[in-house]
Amino acid sequence: MIKSIDKRNSFKETPFDYSIIKDNKMMIYWHRKHIKTITGKEFVKVKSKIELAVNQDEIQLILAKLTRNFKRGNEK
């Protein structure tokens, strides 16, 4: 399933990362740059999806979908 979605093999580099901090917050990173913070109900939903993920590619896909298309030429 992932291979048909990741046609450019960009998930092999694992560009997305996350960390869970106190007060039930999740920080999402892209190439070690903070791009989004998730809290509340969305945090619970995303955390459960990540826990159910079978491999790293699925986690990358979840994080990519979560951040949507955040790049619009203003990231450095």
Residue 46: domain span = 16-67
Q: Is residue 8 part of a domain?
A: no
Q: Is 71 or 44 the better-scoring residue by pLDDT? A: 44
Q: Is residue 10 part of a domain?
A: no
Distance (Å, rounded) from C-alpha 66 to C-alpha 17? 12
Is residue 1 predicted with pLDDT exceeding 50? no
Q: Is residue 11 part of a domain?
A: no
Ranges of beta strands (E only) in the chain are 16-21, 25-30, 33-39
Confidence label for 6 from pLDDT (cuts 50, 70 and 90): low
Distance (Å, rounded) from C-alpha 31 to C-alpha 34? 9
Q: What is the pLDDT of residue 48?
A: 96
Mean pLDDT across the chain, nearest whole number? 82
pLDDT digits (tens, 9 = 90+) for 29-52: 998 999 999 999 999 999 999 999
Is residue 72 predicted with pLDDT exceeding 70? no
- Contact, 76 vs 25, CB < 8 A? no
Q: How many domains does the chain contain in total?
A: 1
Q: Is residue 47 part of a domain?
A: yes
